[in-house]
Amino acid sequence: MAKARHADQRKINQEVERSVQLKMEAEKYRRTAGVREELHGEIVVQMAKARADISTNINALRDLYCDERISALLATEGLSELLRELRDLAGDDFRGHLDKTADQAEPIASPVLDEIHAPQIIPGEIVPKNGMEMRRLEISGGKTTSHAAHQ
């Protein structure tokens, strides 16, 4: 426009101002996108840590339930004497007889144990397999658990 023979300075000034305004808006959007990306990464890491914590608690709760249930079953009246007699009669094959007998029984549902589980993984969620992957996820800002990405 400035090279034109009959240049209109007002139009040139308006175009320059428009260009400056567009650059400022673009920078504002870049900063907003950067902040949102950083927040997304933080949320991914927080979710991974929360899943790890809940998995630890779930495993402990399941173990506690199993231990208490086994103790209750072993306290069944007459079971100790029955197991002792079976062991004495079966000798070295005691375990085999127990397994064979247990395999013949119908499975018993455990509604309490079935209810102790972590929520399903949501699409896009990153679930580190171990502490090293968790650390890589933290270092990457919630982007990856891969070692290759950090070299």
Tens-digit pLDDT profile for the chain (151 aa)? 656 667 778 888 898 899 999 999 999 999 999 999 889 999 999 999 999 999 999 999 999 999 999 999 999 999 999 999 999 999 999 999 999 999 999 988 889 888 998 999 999 899 999 999 999 999 999 988 887 755 5
Taking the CB of residue 76, how many other CB atoms lie within 10 A of it? 9
pTM: 0.64
- The residue whose two tokens read 């990153």 is 126
The first and second tokens of residue 76, run together, are: 């069944």
Largest CA distance in the chain: 114
Q: For the CA atoms of the chain, what is the radius of gyration?
A: 33
- Three-class secondary structure of residue 123 per DSSP: coil
- Three-class secondary structure of residue 78 per DSSP: coil
